[in-house]
Amino acid sequence: MVKITPTICSFCNNGCGMFLRSDGKEAIGVLPIINHPVSEGRLCHRGWNRYQNLRSLNRLSFPLWREDSCLKEVTWPQALEKTKEKISELISRHGPQSLGVIGSSWLTNEDNYRIALFCRNILETSNLDGSYRFSGAPALAAFRELFSGPFGSLGSIPALGESRTILVIGKESHRDFSAVGSRLIKAFLHGSAIILADPLCVHKEHFFKYLLPYPVQSLPALFRDKKSLPPDVIEHLFQPGLALIFIADQVDSASSLVSLLQSLSQGSPTKNDLPLMLPLSRSPNLKGAWDMGIRPGDGGLTLQEMLAEESEVKGLIIFGDDLLNHLPSSSTLGKLRSLEFVLVADRFFTETARMAHCVLPIPLLAETEGTMTNSEGRVQKLRPFLDPQKESRSVAEILHDLSRHLGKDFPVFSGPEVRNEISKNISPYEKVASESDLEGVGGILLPASKAQLHPEVSEPQEQTTEENKYRLLVPNSLYAWNRNQMILESPVLRIEYPGERPAVRMSPLDARELKIRMGEKVKIRSDRGEALAPVEVDENIPSKVLMLPSHLIEVVESLAGKGERDATTRTLFFPNLFVTVEKI
Amino acid sequence: MEQCILHKRNLNDWVELMLGGYQVFVPSRVYGEIFFLPHAGELEFDLLNGTAVLPYLPPKDIVFPQSETMFSFSRDAGDIDFSVPEKAFEKSVILGIRSCDTIGIHWLDNFYSNNFRDFYYRNRRDNLTLITVACNQPMKNCFCICCEGGPFLDPEKDAFDLQLIDFDERYLVECNSEKGKALIELNPGLFSQPESAVVEARDQLEQKSRTLFLPEPTSYMSTAIRRITSNSVPPEVWTELGERCFDDGGCSFVCPCCSCFGVGYLSHGETGCHYRFWDSCDYSGFTREVSGHNPRAEKGERFKRRFFHKLSYQYVKRDGRIGCVGCGRCITACPGEVGMPAVVERLRRG
């Protein structure tokens, strides 16, 4: 019997509407919802193939417990009792701050709210974070903490097609996020000026009117100075109604985004006119996880701080997140190994789950009832489409059972009950308690508030270009699609996202000039040090630019030191720098 | 070809009779969108009249599903068991399919029968009868008139089963195959001889429908066919069009003619299955070789290849028609606004 369920896609944070189809037993197909306000019947190739990973046979099926260095199948009561013993022991020996909890942007708002509550009220620790913050936090913080109002001034995806000028930061913004990209094409067809800023762009596509080949950090100075920009770029940029699209994952510090906004608003004729912004992310519930409180409480540690060698954290409880796949530092592995207790509740047997002391199976998003918040602040319902696997238990049940074992009371709130709580406690979410509004196609759009710029922001210093030196970019590639578990579990998408060799990427022009062949190692030298790295020749890299993925952390650290911490979010980033390259 | 009259009040009875021996797919609303689903409950008559209604998911999904298990395997005590799902191959009828989708299935018939006979497709198709409803009124994105895809099927050249032409309270039924005849013979008493006025009005209705297409999707196919066939489209035009392509594959999936599939394996322990799924020539992995080399790494190249297959005379000669039936679904599906009419118009401009 064919079953058709309207739901939303959970690959990125655009929140496209789709029907998932099943034959009663397993997923058989996907169809975009034509009258969905975000996607209007369109999907990207991930969305069109979303049903495939739902058929995966690599699901976690049973609770596992580590015994004699092997993970062995146990019953739920055994797993929960042993977990309780470990947690109680850690708290009695080191206090509650020895525990850290990790939420996730691959969980619903309701589950993240429950996790935050569990962390505060049951474990009484303030060490709560999620790996999503490594890539999206600076952008979120720029909205949340440097603007008045809950989340600053978000643009609307449907209205984007009407914008007269659109500044796109990062060439992947349009194609990787098709709901936004289709509005960009629509705007182009209506004669809007579309300006692309991306240092990693070899040639602009024809619908981009201008290409600004600069990283985000350089743009504020360029926009203030105005002299180095063509006059019509200035004319287009500094007018009311500008829309700004950027990939939140690539904004490495809150200050770089805020100073960009500042430069745009100060240059506009009416002053303080802020562009409408759309922070795109490969984390589907980036905004929801943040809004539900998946971030450190007062005095709490960030995930990076929890995983630092000197950290006081001895036990980590991880929900729906594959830290080893998402975090750049090789020291993550060492720290996870050294922890006295790691619990992973996830859907697949991920790299992190393989390291854990206890592994608990939770349902897929397609088996879960709940809501997610998209990039424009639209709260939409995920409807359970498949029956959960027999042995998996929802996050709500796990938290309730664990609390009971710990001798505390954590009620199993139903979805509507949690939304009721959220509506009372989280200010822009007042309307989510209305089940009838949520049931509608497109869900509920959170109210946007008028943003005001924070006056005091220090601007990042851009280093000057030196002849014969290469600009070394360390983009945040934490959420590279080819590491996404949903993609790894899909035969067609696995082909679309082949694994990349860990290497520094260089333009064919430069490789030819230096007589370097693919795979050959080169010596890269910066002011701080030097390192050897293999070269991957990439036609999509402009000349005199090197791209070094942050996963090659040893190389990055040799050249850029330990990186810098964003003042607002305390997340780590590596400012771009200039290096020389030598053939060995 | 035989013609007869069916009163709409008798349609339910006819469908009830079909249910005795067939699975009957009818257009049905689910959460406001239309799908072809096995009949259960009441027929939605407004989806079966002369105004075109095209479910976004093309009915090719019934003969060539978005994904289907080809065989499953399991090992028990050394013996390996293979099983092929057979339930899907029962006798079926699609009631309310439109002319473009009917011709799309005829195109798939060519692909899955010539050169090789695809077991899965043919088993479904051989058991399937199509009852097409002609379109007296096209939809806003329809351009079947440019592609010989409608708005009516032509009994002289289209090998259809049954065509229903809407005359308010009645249908003029055109029967063009033995499979169609078998459905009428379920109860010939439900049908009557058509009066000559109705038969004459049929052509007028078709002519009128042909005047109702909107100018925007209407496409000048011949120029595009000529330019593609003679390879006179400048490479920069393909690059420009390719830049607008999002590689999403949506146009292939909703296209009634696209027949490409990929094959995947799922296994866990001693059990697993082998399944196939809709694939798309938009995807860079579609032509990438095991070595990593991709003969169509450039998006423009992939785009060119797609439209070459759709419109080149080389394929018209082989398959008897272009690979587009003018349903207009690609206009809805394409985020880059480069559906068939936009591409044809761009190629015409040069």
Please give the pLDDT value at position A383: 93
**Residue of chain A minimizing CA distance to B334:** A42
- Does B248 contact A441 at a Cβ distance shorter than 8 Å? no
pLDDT top residue among A574 and A435 = A435
Query: Which of A459-468, A563-572, B170-179 is least confident?
Result: A459-468
A337 shares its domain with A421:
yes
Say yes or no: B89 and B161 in one domain.
Answer: yes
pLDDT band at A249 (very low <50, low <70, confident <90, very high): confident
Assess whether A234 and A360 both reside in one domain.
no
A167 with A193, same domain? Answer: yes
Together in a domain, B261 and B135: no
Q: Who among B31, B243, B249 is closest to A206 (CB)?
A: B243
Residue with more model confidence, B24 or A337: B24
Considering the domain boundaries, does residue B78 fall inside one? no
| Alpha helix ranges (H) inside A190-270 | 219-225, 231-237, 254-267
Query: Is A153's pLDDT higher than 90?
Result: no
pLDDT band at A467 (very low <50, low <70, confident <90, very high): low
CB-based contacts of B349, cutoff 8 Å, min separation 6: none
> Nearest-CA residue of chain A relative to B237?
A206
Confidence of residue B311 (pLDDT cuts 50, 70, 90): very high
Are residues A300 and A437 both part of a single domain? Answer: yes
Give the Cα separation of B163 and B133 in Å (integer).
6
Same structural domain, A475 and A571:
yes
In a domain, B106, yes or no: yes
B235 part of contact set with chain A, CB < 8 Å: no
Mean pLDDT of A287-310: 90
Asked if the structure places residue A357 within a domain, the reply is yes
Q: Are residue B156 and residue B12 in the same domain, yes or no?
A: yes
| Residue A417, burial from CB neighbour count under 10 angstroms (0-12, 13-18, 19+) | middle
Q: Does B246 lie at the interface with A, CB-CB under 8 angstroms?
A: yes
Residues from chain B that touch A2, judged by Cβ atoms under 8 A, are: 35, 37-38
* Statement: residue A2 has pLDDT above 90: no
Amino acid at A106: W
Shared-domain flag, residues A257 and A386 = no
Interface subset of B 51-80, CB within 8 angstroms of A: 56-57, 61, 65-68
Q: Where are the alpha helices (DSSP H) in A440-524?
A: 485-488, 491-496, 508-514
Q: Which of A13, A31, A53 is the last residue of a domain?
A: A53
State the average pLDDT over residues B201-217: 95
| Per-position DSSP letters for B98-136, written without gaps between them | -HHHHHHHHHHHHHHHSSS--HHHHHHHHTEEEEEE--S
Cβ–Cβ contact B230 with A under 8 A: no
Q: Are residues B193 and B287 in the same domain?
A: no
Taking an 8 Å cut-off on Cβ atoms, the answer to whether A55 and B246 are in contact is: no
The string of pLDDT tens digits covering residues A534-547 is 999 888 888 999 98
Q: Band the pLDDT of A151: cuts 50, 70, 90.
A: very low
Last residue of a domain, one of B148, B179, B210: B210
pLDDT given for residue A525 in this prediction: 93
A42-69: average pLDDT: 92
pLDDT at A132 over 90: no
Residues A69 and A108 both lie in one domain: yes
CA of B241: which chain A residue's CA is closest?
Answer: A206
The pair of three-digit structure tokens given for residue B225, joined into one six-digit string = 């066919």
Residue pLDDT, tens place only, A333-363? 888 889 999 999 999 999 899 999 999 999 9
Please state the rounded mean pLDDT for residues B174-198.
96
In a domain, A59, yes or no: no
Look at A28 and B66 and tell me if their CB atoms are within 8 Å. Answer: yes
Query: What percent of chain A clears pLDDT 70, i.e. is strictly above it?
Result: 92
Please tell me whether residues B274 and B238 are part of one structural domain. yes
Residues A331 and A421 in one domain: yes
Which DSSP string do the residues of B86-99 spell out, in sequence order? -GGGS-EEEEEE-H
Contacts of B262 in chain A (CB under 8 A): 491-492, 495
Mean pLDDT (chain B, rounded): 94
Domain assignment present for residue B176? The answer is: yes
Let me know if residue B141 belongs to a domain: yes
Residues of chain B with C-beta less than 8 angstroms from the C-beta of A182: 246, 335-337
Domain count for chain A = 4
Q: Which residue has the higher pLDDT, A343 or A156?
A: A343
Residue A275 or A235, more confident? A235
- Please check whether residue B48 lies inside any domain of the structure: yes
Chain B residues inside the 8 Å CB shell of A207: 243-244
Put simply, the answer to whether B337 touches A182 (Cβ < 8 Å) is yes
Min mean pLDDT across A539-548, B38-47, B64-73 is at A539-548
Reply yes or no on whether the pLDDT at A453 is more than 60: no
Helix (H) / strand (E) element for B180: namely helix B178-184
In the structure encoding, which two tokens stand for residue B136, read together? 């007296």
Claim to verify: residue A316 and residue A184 sit in the same structural domain: no
Segment 268-287 of chain B within 8 Å of chain A by CB: 268, 271-272, 275, 277, 279-280, 282-285
The pLDDT score that the predictor gives to residue A449 is: 58
- pLDDT > 90? residue B270: no
> Which residues pair with residue B167 across a beta bridge?
B170
Strands (E), B155-248: 162-167, 170-175, 191-192
CATH for B169: 3.40.640
Mean pLDDT for A129-149 is 73
Exposure string over A438-449, b if 16+ CB within 10 A, otherwise e? beebbbbbbebb
What is the CATH number for A27?
Answer: 2.20.25.90
Give how far A61 is from chain B: nearest CA, Å. 12
Residue B142 and residue B8 share a domain: yes
- Does residue B77 sit within a domain? no
Residue A401 belongs to a domain with what CATH number? 3.40.50.740
Report the pLDDT averaged over residues B111-132: 94
- For residues B163 and B77, the model is more confident at B163
**Mutation site, B266, B298, B334, interface A, largest A CB count within 10 A:** B266
Nearest CA distance, A185 vs chain B (angstrom): 6
| Token pair listed for A4 | 């058709």
A contacts of B85 (beta carbons < 8 Å): none
Does the pLDDT value for residue A207 go beyond 70? yes
More confident residue, A241 or A287: A287
Interface of B with A in 286-305 (CB under 8 A): 288, 292
Q: In which domain, by residue range, is A564 found?
A: 470-583
Tell me which of B210, B235, B254 is where a domain ends.
B210
> Of the candidates B210, B243, B278, which is a domain's last residue?
B210
Other C-beta atoms within 10 Å of A409: how many? 10
A492 CB neighbours in chain B (<8 A) are 262, 264, 277, 279, 283, 285
In the block, which residue shows the tokens 């489209």? B233
Q: What pLDDT is stored for residue A149 in this prediction?
A: 40
Reply yes or no on whether the pLDDT at A456 is more than 60.
Answer: no
pLDDT number for residue B160: 95
Indicate the number of domains in chain B. Answer: 2
The candidate with the shortest Cα–Cα distance to A3, out of B40, B329, B91, B127, is B40
Question: Are the Cβ atoms of B283 and A496 closer than 8 angstroms?
Answer: yes
B82 CB within 8 Å of a chain A CB = no
Coil vs helix vs strand at A143: helix
Q: What whole-number distance in Å separates Cα of residue B246 and Cα of residue A39?
A: 14
Query: Strand A444-445's sheet: what is its strand order?
Result: A370-373, A378-382, A444-445
Residue A478: pLDDT band by 50, 70, 90 thresholds?
low
A542 and A481: one domain? yes
pLDDT at A148: 45
- The better pLDDT of the pair B11, A553 is held by B11
Give the list of residues 6+ apart from residue A392 with CB closer than 8 angstroms, or none. Answer: A59, A60, A61, A347, A361, A362, A363, A367
Facing residue for B57 by CB, picked from A31, A206, A496: A31
> Residue B214: which pLDDT band, with cuts at 50, 70 and 90?
very high
Distance CA B253, CA B278 (A): 7
Average pLDDT over residues B125-133: 97
Interchain pair B292, A498: CB under 8 A:
yes
Do A120 and A153 share a domain, yes or no?
A: no
Q: Looking at per-residue confidence, does B220 or B38 come out higher? A: B38
Contact between A491 and B56 using a beta-carbon 8 Å cutoff = no
Q: CB of B41 within 8 Å of any CB in chain A? A: no
pLDDT confidence tier of residue A258, bands split at 50, 70 and 90: confident
B33 Cα to chain A: minimum distance (Å): 8
User: Quick one: pLDDT at residue A329?
Assistant: 63
Q: Give pLDDT, residue A448.
A: 67
pLDDT of residue A507: 92
pLDDT of residue A524: 94
What's the pLDDT band for A419 if we cut at 50, 70, 90? very high
Per-residue pLDDT at A152: 43
A241: left (phi over 0), alpha (psi -120 to 50) or beta: left
Residue A563: predicted pLDDT? 81
Cβ–Cβ under 8 Å, residues A57 and B272: yes
Instruction: Kindly state the percentage of chain B with pLDDT values over 70.
Output: 99
Chosen from B64, B240, B248 to mutate, greatest number of chain A CBs within 10 A: B248
CATH number assigned to the domain comprising residue A273: 3.40.228.10
In this structure, are B206 and B251 located in the same domain? no
**CB atoms A28 and B38 under 8 Å:** no
Give yes or no: residues B206 and B231 share one domain.
no
- Residue A408's contacts (CB-CB under 8 Å, 6 or more residues apart) are A121, A122
Rounded Cα–Cα distance for residues B329 and B149 (Å): 13
Token pair belonging to A187: 């705007």
Are B283 and A4 within 8 A, CB to CB?
no
Q: Which of B249, B266, B332 sits opposite A48 (nearest CB)?
A: B249
B68: in domain: no
Pairing mode of beta strands A243-247, A276-280: parallel
The answer to whether position A506 is within a domain reads yes
Do A45 and B280 count as a contact with CB atoms less than 8 A apart? yes
Q: What percent of chain B has pLDDT over 90?
A: 83
Question: Is the Cβ–Cβ distance between B24 and B130 less than 8 Å?
Answer: no
B215 found inside a domain: no
Cβ of A29 within 8 Å of Cβ of B56? The answer is no
pLDDT at A479 over 70: no
Q: Are residues B161 and B191 in the same domain?
A: yes
**Which of A255, A280, A305 is the last residue in one of the domains?**
A280
Is the same domain home to B205 and B231? Answer: no
In a domain, A461, yes or no: no
- The answer to whether residues B198 and B138 belong to one domain is yes
Residues A523 and A429 in one domain: no
User: Residue B305: which domain range?
Assistant: 221-349
Residues in chain B with CB shorter than 8 Å from the CB of A179 are: 335
**CA dist B137 to A124, A263, B172, B255, Å?**
67, 54, 16, 21
Whether B27 and B129 share a structural domain: yes
Nearest Cβ partner of A189 from B292, B332, B337? Answer: B337
Say how many C-beta atoms besides its own lie within 10 A of residue A268's C-beta: 17
- Position A411 scores a pLDDT of 82
CA–CA dist A18, A36 (Å, integer): 8
Looking at the domain assignment, is residue A72 inside a domain? yes
Binary contact (A492, B272; C-beta < 8 A): no
